Copies of this chain bind each other. A is one copy, B any other.
Protein backbone atom coordinates (compact mmCIF):
# COMPACT_ATOMS: atom_id res chain seq x y z
CA UNK A 1 0.00 0.00 0.00
CA UNK A 2 1.18 3.50 -0.87
CA UNK A 3 0.14 6.21 1.55
CA UNK A 4 0.46 9.98 1.22
CA UNK A 5 0.05 11.93 4.46
CA UNK A 6 -0.40 15.69 4.19
CA UNK A 7 0.16 17.82 7.25
CA UNK A 8 -0.66 21.49 7.79
CA UNK A 9 0.11 22.70 11.32
CA UNK A 10 2.57 25.55 11.98
CA UNK A 11 3.80 24.08 15.30
CA UNK A 12 5.88 20.88 14.90
CA UNK A 13 5.30 20.00 18.57
CA UNK A 14 1.52 20.38 18.33
CA UNK A 15 -0.98 17.64 19.05
CA UNK A 16 -2.02 17.72 15.39
CA UNK A 17 1.61 17.03 14.51
CA UNK A 18 1.56 14.10 16.94
CA UNK A 19 -1.48 12.67 15.13
CA UNK A 20 0.36 13.14 11.83
CA UNK A 21 3.51 11.43 13.15
CA UNK A 22 1.45 8.58 14.58
CA UNK A 23 -0.06 7.97 11.15
CA UNK A 24 3.36 8.00 9.49
CA UNK A 25 4.68 5.47 12.00
CA UNK A 26 1.58 3.30 11.83
CA UNK A 27 1.77 2.84 8.07
CA UNK A 28 5.58 2.46 8.03
CA UNK A 29 5.27 -0.27 10.65
CA UNK A 30 2.79 -2.03 8.39
CA UNK A 31 5.38 -2.02 5.63
CA UNK A 32 3.53 0.53 3.51
CA UNK A 33 5.41 3.02 1.33
CA UNK A 34 4.71 6.31 3.09
CA UNK A 35 5.23 9.71 1.51
CA UNK A 36 4.58 12.94 3.38
CA UNK A 37 3.81 16.51 2.41
CA UNK A 38 4.47 18.56 5.53
CA UNK A 39 3.28 21.84 4.05
CA UNK A 40 4.72 24.21 6.67
CA UNK A 41 8.08 22.41 6.66
CA UNK A 42 8.11 22.57 2.84
CA UNK A 43 7.19 26.26 2.83
CA UNK A 44 4.44 25.33 0.39
CA UNK A 45 3.09 28.29 -1.58
CA UNK A 46 -0.73 28.17 -1.44
CA UNK A 47 -1.52 31.06 -3.79
CA UNK A 48 -2.98 30.04 -7.17
CA UNK A 49 -1.63 32.38 -9.82
CA UNK A 50 -0.38 32.66 -13.38
CA UNK A 51 3.10 31.79 -12.08
CA UNK A 52 1.88 28.19 -11.67
CA UNK A 53 2.34 27.60 -15.38
CA UNK A 54 5.75 27.51 -17.06
CA UNK A 55 3.94 27.93 -20.36
CA UNK A 56 0.64 29.73 -20.82
CA UNK A 57 -2.10 28.82 -23.30
CA UNK A 58 -3.14 32.47 -23.04
CA UNK A 59 -0.45 34.72 -21.54
CA UNK A 60 -2.77 37.76 -21.65
CA UNK A 61 -5.79 36.52 -19.74
CA UNK A 62 -5.71 33.95 -16.94
CA UNK A 63 -8.47 31.35 -16.73
CA UNK A 64 -6.94 29.18 -14.04
CA UNK A 65 -8.68 25.88 -14.87
CA UNK A 66 -7.93 26.23 -18.58
CA UNK A 67 -4.25 26.84 -17.85
CA UNK A 68 -4.28 23.80 -15.56
CA UNK A 69 -5.55 21.67 -18.45
CA UNK A 70 -2.94 23.15 -20.77
CA UNK A 71 -0.23 22.62 -18.17
CA UNK A 72 -1.18 18.96 -17.79
CA UNK A 73 -1.19 18.36 -21.55
CA UNK A 74 2.06 20.18 -22.24
CA UNK A 75 3.68 19.03 -18.97
CA UNK A 76 4.50 22.60 -18.03
CA UNK A 77 2.97 22.87 -14.55
CA UNK A 78 5.29 24.43 -11.99
CA UNK A 79 7.54 21.83 -10.36
CA UNK A 80 6.09 22.13 -6.86
CA UNK A 81 2.61 21.35 -8.24
CA UNK A 82 3.72 18.47 -10.45
CA UNK A 83 5.59 16.83 -7.55
CA UNK A 84 2.41 16.83 -5.43
CA UNK A 85 0.30 15.50 -8.31
CA UNK A 86 2.76 12.65 -8.77
CA UNK A 87 2.61 11.81 -5.07
CA UNK A 88 -1.19 11.68 -5.12
CA UNK A 89 -1.32 9.62 -8.33
CA UNK A 90 1.06 7.14 -6.70
CA UNK A 91 -0.93 6.75 -3.47
CA UNK A 92 -3.73 4.34 -2.59
CA UNK A 93 -4.65 6.28 0.53
CA UNK A 94 -4.49 10.03 1.11
CA UNK A 95 -4.55 11.27 4.71
CA UNK A 96 -5.03 14.98 5.52
CA UNK A 97 -4.03 16.16 9.04
CA UNK A 98 -4.82 19.74 9.99
CA UNK A 99 -6.23 22.06 12.65
CA UNK A 100 -9.66 23.53 11.89
CA UNK A 101 -9.40 27.26 11.20
CA UNK A 102 -12.80 28.92 10.73
CA UNK A 103 -14.65 25.63 10.16
CA UNK A 104 -12.37 24.82 7.26
CA UNK A 105 -8.78 24.01 6.31
CA UNK A 106 -5.93 26.44 7.03
CA UNK A 107 -5.09 28.48 3.93
CA UNK A 108 -1.84 26.58 3.31
CA UNK A 109 -3.82 23.35 2.84
CA UNK A 110 -6.69 24.99 0.95
CA UNK A 111 -4.11 26.34 -1.47
CA UNK A 112 -2.52 22.91 -1.82
CA UNK A 113 -5.89 21.76 -3.14
CA UNK A 114 -6.47 24.90 -5.24
CA UNK A 115 -3.13 24.40 -7.00
CA UNK A 116 -2.63 20.62 -7.03
CA UNK A 117 -6.11 19.21 -7.76
CA UNK A 118 -5.80 20.25 -11.40
CA UNK A 119 -8.48 20.07 -14.03
CA UNK A 120 -7.65 17.35 -16.54
CA UNK A 121 -6.20 14.95 -13.95
CA UNK A 122 -8.50 15.11 -10.94
CA UNK A 123 -11.72 15.91 -12.81
CA UNK A 124 -13.00 17.24 -16.10
CA UNK A 125 -16.38 17.41 -17.81
CA UNK A 126 -18.47 14.53 -16.45
CA UNK A 127 -15.45 12.86 -14.83
CA UNK A 128 -16.55 13.57 -11.27
CA UNK A 129 -17.60 11.44 -8.30
CA UNK A 130 -17.74 7.78 -9.47
CA UNK A 131 -16.06 8.86 -12.72
CA UNK A 132 -13.52 11.17 -11.04
CA UNK A 133 -9.82 10.95 -11.75
CA UNK A 134 -8.98 9.67 -8.27
CA UNK A 135 -11.39 6.73 -8.25
CA UNK A 136 -9.89 3.62 -6.70
CA UNK A 137 -8.11 5.67 -4.01
CA UNK A 138 -9.26 6.32 -0.45
CA UNK A 139 -9.07 9.57 1.53
CA UNK A 140 -9.18 10.15 5.28
CA UNK A 141 -9.43 13.50 7.06
CA UNK A 142 -7.98 13.98 10.56
CA UNK A 143 -8.82 17.41 11.96
CA UNK A 144 -8.37 19.01 15.39
CA UNK A 145 -10.42 21.82 16.85
CA UNK A 146 -11.04 23.85 19.97
CA UNK A 147 -14.81 23.46 20.15
CA UNK A 148 -16.55 20.76 22.17
CA UNK A 149 -18.52 18.08 20.37
CA UNK A 150 -21.85 19.27 21.84
CA UNK A 151 -21.45 22.67 20.19
CA UNK A 152 -21.78 20.96 16.82
CA UNK A 153 -24.77 18.73 17.55
CA UNK A 154 -28.24 19.57 16.30
CA UNK A 155 -28.69 21.29 19.67
CA UNK A 156 -25.36 23.16 19.51
CA UNK A 157 -24.76 26.75 18.40
CA UNK A 158 -22.74 25.65 15.35
CA UNK A 159 -23.79 23.30 12.59
CA UNK A 160 -22.95 19.67 12.32
CA UNK A 161 -19.24 19.38 11.59
CA UNK A 162 -19.75 16.85 8.79
CA UNK A 163 -22.05 19.39 7.12
CA UNK A 164 -19.55 22.22 7.60
CA UNK A 165 -16.86 20.08 5.98
CA UNK A 166 -18.91 19.10 2.91
CA UNK A 167 -16.88 21.43 0.66
CA UNK A 168 -13.82 19.26 1.43
CA UNK A 169 -15.39 15.84 2.03
CA UNK A 170 -17.91 15.82 -0.81
CA UNK A 171 -17.07 18.85 -2.96
CA UNK A 172 -13.35 18.10 -3.22
CA UNK A 173 -12.42 14.54 -2.21
CA UNK A 174 -15.68 12.85 -3.26
CA UNK A 175 -15.96 15.04 -6.35
CA UNK A 176 -12.56 13.95 -7.64
CA UNK A 177 -13.40 10.28 -7.13
CA UNK A 178 -11.83 9.41 -3.78
CA UNK A 179 -13.66 6.93 -1.59
CA UNK A 180 -14.07 9.23 1.43
CA UNK A 181 -13.78 7.56 4.82
CA UNK A 182 -15.76 8.93 7.75
CA UNK A 183 -13.51 11.74 9.07
CA UNK A 184 -11.79 11.80 12.46
CA UNK A 185 -12.39 14.96 14.50
CA UNK A 186 -10.44 15.63 17.71
CA UNK A 187 -12.46 18.10 19.79
CA UNK A 188 -11.47 20.66 22.42
CA UNK A 189 -7.77 19.93 21.89
CA UNK A 190 -6.17 23.14 23.29
CA UNK A 191 -7.98 22.63 26.60
CA UNK A 192 -7.20 18.95 27.15
CA UNK A 193 -4.57 17.53 29.49
CA UNK A 194 -2.01 14.97 28.39
CA UNK A 195 -4.14 12.02 29.51
CA UNK A 196 -7.13 13.15 27.46
CA UNK A 197 -4.88 13.80 24.47
CA UNK A 198 -3.36 10.35 24.88
CA UNK A 199 -6.85 8.88 24.74
CA UNK A 200 -7.56 10.65 21.44
CA UNK A 201 -4.22 9.50 20.06
CA UNK A 202 -5.18 5.91 20.96
CA UNK A 203 -8.55 6.30 19.21
CA UNK A 204 -6.76 7.58 16.12
CA UNK A 205 -4.33 4.66 16.09
CA UNK A 206 -7.22 2.25 16.60
CA UNK A 207 -9.04 3.77 13.64
CA UNK A 208 -5.91 3.41 11.50
CA UNK A 209 -5.57 -0.23 12.54
CA UNK A 210 -9.17 -0.89 11.47
CA UNK A 211 -9.18 1.39 8.45
CA UNK A 212 -10.74 -1.24 6.18
CA UNK A 213 -13.78 -1.22 8.47
CA UNK A 214 -14.10 2.58 8.51
CA UNK A 215 -17.47 3.63 7.04
CA UNK A 216 -17.36 5.27 3.62
CA UNK A 217 -19.36 8.45 3.03
CA UNK A 218 -22.14 8.11 0.43
CA UNK A 219 -21.57 10.14 -2.73
CA UNK A 220 -23.72 10.86 -5.79
CA UNK A 221 -23.66 8.50 -8.77
CA UNK A 222 -23.27 10.49 -11.96
CA UNK A 223 -25.63 8.25 -13.94
CA UNK A 224 -28.47 9.43 -11.72
CA UNK A 225 -28.00 12.95 -13.12
CA UNK A 226 -28.72 14.40 -16.55
CA UNK A 227 -26.32 16.41 -18.72
CA UNK A 228 -27.00 19.49 -16.56
CA UNK A 229 -26.23 17.51 -13.41
CA UNK A 230 -29.86 17.71 -12.36
CA UNK A 231 -31.45 14.53 -11.07
CA UNK A 232 -33.03 12.34 -13.73
CA UNK A 233 -36.76 11.77 -13.47
CA UNK A 234 -37.49 8.09 -13.09
Residues of chain A touching chain B, judged by Cβ–Cβ distance below 8 Å, are 10-11, 13-14, 40, 46-50, 61-65, 101-108, 110-111, 113-114, 117, 128-129, 146-148, 150-151, 153, 155-159, 163-164, 166-168, 170-172, 190, 220, 222, 225, 228-231
Contact = CB atoms under 8 A, between A and B. Distances in A.
Given A10-B50, A157-B222, A102 B171 contact: yes
5 contacts: A11-B64, A14-B62, A102-B114, A111-B111, A157-B220
Nearest to A231: B155
A42 to B, nearest CB: 11
B61 A151 contact: no
Contacts of A107: 46-48, 107-108, 110-111, 114
Nearest to A52: B10
Contacts of A231: 155-157
Contacts of A104: 104, 110, 167, 171
A159 B147 CA distance: 25
A189 to B, nearest CB: 10
A113, A114, A170, A172, most chain B CB atoms within 10 A = A114
Given A102-B168, A148-B228, A159-B171, 4 more contacts: A46-B107, A153-B230, A157-B225, A159-B170
A147 to B, nearest CB: 8
A146 B64 CA distance: 12
Contact of A63 (B11, B101, B150): B11
A117 B104 CA distance: 14
Contacts of A166: 103, 159, 163-164
Contacts of A46: 46-47, 107-108, 111
